[in-house]
Amino acid sequence: MDSEQRKLALALIQQALPDLDWTLQATKVKRLSRDFHWFSPILKQQLEDKQADAVVRPRNEEELSLVVKACVQHQLPLILRGGATGNYGQLVPLQGGILVDMTGFNQIGEPGNGVVRAQAGSRLAEIETITRPTGWELRCMPSTYRLATLGGLYGGGFGGIGSINYGPLGAPGNVLSVKVMTMEAEPRILHIPAPQALLLHHAYGSNGIVLEVELALAPVHQWIERLDVFDDFSDALDYANAIARSPGLVKRQLALFAAPIPTYFTHLNGHYQAHQHAVISVIAEESEGVGSNLLEKYRGHSAVRQSAAEARETNTSLMEYCWNHTTLHALKIDSSLTYLQTAFNYTNYRQQIIDMAALFGDEVISHIEFLRDNDGNITASGLQLVRYSSEERLNEIMVTFRDNDVKINNPHVYKIEDGKQGEIKSEVVSVKKSLDPNGLLNPGKLRGWEVRDTLVLNNDPLLLTDR
């Protein structure tokens, strides 16, 4: 469908649904069609001219259902938008269409027994505001928790803060079920329990419209946020690793930043020197004593220390310097930087981190996040900063990482499979066949859909007949 046909269809839809909350002004639509994919100079260029034809913000399921019906009738693409904090063009409409702002779906259920159910447009921080007084918090969340939505995290997130305990968001047990609306002429609403629910996770909203997510929660601790600095990189690494590997030291977040990354933290960098490496940790109050012993052992110095409760009140949490926030702080200072996403091997990540840092010198700067993998192993992943010269060189760097047995989840591509070593489970495509049979959810995003005739697809990937 070309641009003119889409405009005509859109005009008819708007005429039919005048009471919906539409945004039509071109510059606004353009702005709303953007996320943080500009972290990648490659995506920035590739997605430059991609945008929606209009934005709509449904206030309830009934309104959303009207939009879905209209899009199916006119075969117009529909794309979901949460907090727009993604980094891979998750919400960028590849072939135009209607961008659905989901932030109107922000009801959060009563938490009970370590579980909460919330609508997809709920901000993660809002969910914690509801659950914290009951003694629970989120198990995994991105550093963008203040703006990011639950649906956006589910659609495109991996894990983040808390993954040092619970692994990735997709590890069994973290997500209990989802509620979805199908992209059909008569939209259906389905409740899908785990593990089938995970077939809609990390599919960037391309195979179903997630309305609600039911999450298992983590018990609240009195967290202390710390930034500690080290003159020597391997001391910083060993300190962070000792925290990671101490089962009696309770933590929520742990990241290592090689110099000069800490200098990019403009609100903090008065507390340390430019040549110093930093470790940000969020540890339980009762574990601070062990932390202090380790800090002394590895010749570190305390630069910032605050309670998480204080930090929340003043909006100065150190968690907002971790994960992809690091990249954001760096880019604000030096727009020639970009980044990688790497997964070290759990059996020898310490040596791999040292080797890769040595191999690239100043060109690739270590930003390491510690976490548990899907099998419960403690390991490390990297969101290294890269001094960008060309696409060729960036790809060369990624090849070198792979050659050294470090996995790359390429953040410079916008097709789902390209970010995942080129592959996706055929069930993810089967789900799209069931829930979006016309392929209207952000067409172009899921390569498996385009080549679906070559795949063996399951007719009932969600095992819905069983339930």
Least CB distance from residue 126 to a second copy, whole Å? 21
Least CB distance from residue 346 to a second copy, whole Å? 10
CA 425, CA 440: separation in Å to the nearest integer?
20
Query: Which C-beta is closer to a second copy: that of 61 or that of 225?
Result: 225
Query: Which C-beta is closer to a second copy: that of 3 or that of 347?
Result: 347
134 binds a second copy (CB under 8 A): no
Which residue's structure tokens are 């960008």?
A: 388
Give the torsion through C-alpha atoms of 157, 160, 162, 166, to 10 deg: 60
104 binds a second copy (CB under 8 A): no
Least CB distance from residue 287 to a second copy, whole Å? 5
Residue 399: strand, helix, or coil? helix
405-444 residues in contact with a second copy (CB under 8 A) are: none
Among 15, 27, 113, 454, binds a second copy (CB under 8 A): 113
Sheet holding 337-339, edge to edge: 337-339, 385-387, 364-365
Least CB distance from residue 309 to a second copy, whole Å? 12
Contact 251, 243 (CB under 8 A): yes
Binding mask 355-374 for a second copy (x = CB under 8 A): -----------------xxx
CA 421, CA 398: separation in Å to the nearest integer?
12
Contact 77, 98 (CB under 8 A): yes
CA 460, CA 427: separation in Å to the nearest integer?
9
Query: Which C-beta is closer to a second copy: that of 36 or that of 223?
Result: 223
DSSP state, residue 123:
B
189-248 residues in contact with a second copy (CB under 8 A) are: 193-195, 216-217, 219-222, 244-248
Query: Which C-beta is closer to a second copy: that of 12 or that of 176?
Result: 176
Q: How far does CA 446 lie from the centroid of its chain? A: 17
CA-based nearest residue to 381, from 191, 154, 163:
163
Among 133, 135, 422, 437, binds a second copy (CB under 8 A): 135
Least CB distance from residue 281 to a second copy, whole Å? 13
173 binds a second copy (CB under 8 A): yes
Binding mask 285-304 for a second copy (x = CB under 8 A): xxx-xx--x-----------
Identity at 52, one-letter amino acid code? A
Residue 280: strand, helix, or coil? strand
**For the chain, what's the residue count?**
467
CA 90, CA 23: separation in Å to the nearest integer?
20
Rounded to 10°, the helix 233-244/349-360 angle is 150
115 binds a second copy (CB under 8 A): yes
179 binds a second copy (CB under 8 A): no
149-168 residues in contact with a second copy (CB under 8 A) are: 165-167
Query: Which C-beta is closer to a second copy: that of 242 or that of 455?
Result: 242
Chain residues that interact with a second copy, rule: CB under 8 A: 113-115, 135, 139, 165-167, 171-174, 176, 193-195, 216-217, 219-222, 244-250, 284-287, 289-290, 293, 372-378
